[in-house]
Structure 1
Amino acid sequence: MLHERLWTGPGSILTRGGCEISVSRFDPAGLPVGSGRIVLDLRRECFGDQRSWASLTPAEARGLAGLLTAQARVVEEEVARRDEPAGQGDGPLEVHRVQGDHYTTVVRGHRIDTDQPLTAEGTDEGPTPVELFVASLASCVAHYAGRYLDRHHLPGEELRVSARFTKAPGPIVRIGTVALQVTVPALPPGRTAGLLAVARHCTVHNTLEAPPEVTLDLTTGSGSTQ
């Protein structure tokens, strides 16, 4: 039954007339791909004559809008996570040295070249590993933003994501800041927040927010691992 998939929402509001209105959502696992449903529940006690409506004050209406917006963002994020392509992380990728600073990464039959620029004594056969790292974040954001546009039947041909990054000061070499700019055609009212919420929860962005455990082992020519 439909009610078996109902998740209790984060809250409800009680109107001045004593009517309780709750906002919740359905479990996306039981819905078609690309769809999510937010539930507005008017308690039967609100209308003795069985009419499904409630009169709200401006303050009550703003409170209800806040609950609906919060649930809408959660649903968009859940749908985006559920629609993540299968197979990611199932197999290893390998990096092979070509020559000097030129390396080739092989993943699922694809080859990605990395190198260093000529000014850093490389041969510039590809982006640097750091540039590729930032590119993975930008392309992941673009993927999620594109799925959002497709799901809502919005034009996405001109979608693009630009990125700028800076190195952090100090003895540890790392990236200090990454600034992403998502550019899309004009969006209908109310879609900007949803698109940004989905884009911010792409897999790479989530990984940066909660870094994974990274292990590093060494295998010698004799086959022993250290």
Structure 2
Amino acid sequence: MEEITVRHQDQDTFAILIRDHLLWVDQPHAGGDAGPTPLELLTASLAACAAHFARRHLKEHGIPDAGLEVGGRFTLATADAQRVAAIVLDVRPQWALSPTQREELHEALENCPVLTSLRASPRISATITCPDGKPRSAAVA
């Protein structure tokens, strides 16, 4: 997988370069609102992954997938406002589903790699590469 690069632009605004795509992220409390916050992107990533797997499931089972929506909301931990305590997804197909179809759709969402990655608590590390070109590793979490 190619590297994703995040480059500072101004104040709390950053450009995210993913392959040939450009996204913006910032913190609206800093006076700008050029894009979502990093936690909104986290929730959007999970919702987008769930939408992909939901659409695929609907199509494979002959259920119309047109107009499918997935809403996502997150809440912060009350003791630590720097951590997400919960993410709630609302999968909204545009057609009525039987209880069995709903359960099967719910099971299909369990295959979303963003969901499985979050549940597995991936090991995260960081390397600090200074202008002298000497990398220095540090465990982040």
Alpha-carbon offset, residue 190 of structure 1: 2.4
* Distance change in 2, residues 1:103/1:150 (3 Å): same
1:122 positional shift: 3.3
Structure 2 letter corresponding to 1:108: R
Q: Which residue of 2 aligns with 1:224?
A: 134
- Residue 11 (structure 2) aligns with: 100
Mapping 1:1-16, distance limit 5 Å: none
Which residue of 2 is the match for residue 160 of structure 1? 69
Rg (Cα) greater in structure: 1
How do 1:69-218 residues align onto structure 2 when only pairs under 5 Å count?
Answer: 90-117=1-28, 120-171=29-80, 173-184=82-93, 185-188=95-98, 190-218=100-128
Rounded Cα–Cα distance in structure 2 between residues aligned with 1:93 and 1:173: 23
Per-residue Cα deviation, 1:133-154 (whole angstroms, up to 9, x for no partner): 1110111101100000111121
Inter-partner Cα distance in structure 1 for 2:96 and 2:9: 45
Relative to the length of structure 1, the TM-score reads 0.57
Which amino acid is the alignment partner of residue 206 of structure 1? Answer: T
Q: Which segments of 5 or more consecutive residues in structure 1 lack a partner in the other structure?
A: 1-89
Instruction: Work out whether residues 101 and 115 of structure 1, in 8 Å CA contact, stay in contact via their aligned partners in 2.
Output: yes
CA offsets 1:97-151 (integer angstroms, 9 cap, x no match): 111111111111111110111xx12310000011001110111101100000111
C-alpha distance in 1 between matches for 2:80 and 2:102:
39
Please give the per-residue CA displacement for 1:135-193, whole angstroms capped at 9, x wherever unaligned: 10111101100000111121111211111111102247200111111111112562111
Q: Please give the alpha-carbon distance, in whole angstroms, between the structure 2 residues aligned to 1:189 and 1:171.
A: 38
Q: How many residues are aligned here?
A: 135
Identity of aligned residues (%): 35
Provide closer, same or farther for how the CA distance between residues 193 and 171 of structure 1 changes in structure 2, counting only shifts above 3 A: closer
Separation (CA, whole Å) in 2 of partners of 1:181 and 1:188: 17
The 8 Å contact of residues 11 and 30 in structure 2, kept in 1 or not, is answered as: no
What residue identity is the alignment partner of 2:60? R
Write 1 or 2 for the structure with the bigger share of strand: 2
Tell me the SS of whatever aligns to 2:135. coil
What is the aligned-residue RMSD (CA, Å)? 1.4
Where does structure 2 lack aligned partners over 5 or more consecutive residues?
137-141
- SS of the aligned residue for 2:73 comes to strand
Separation in structure 2 between the aligned mates of residue 115 and residue 172 of structure 1, nearest angstrom: 17
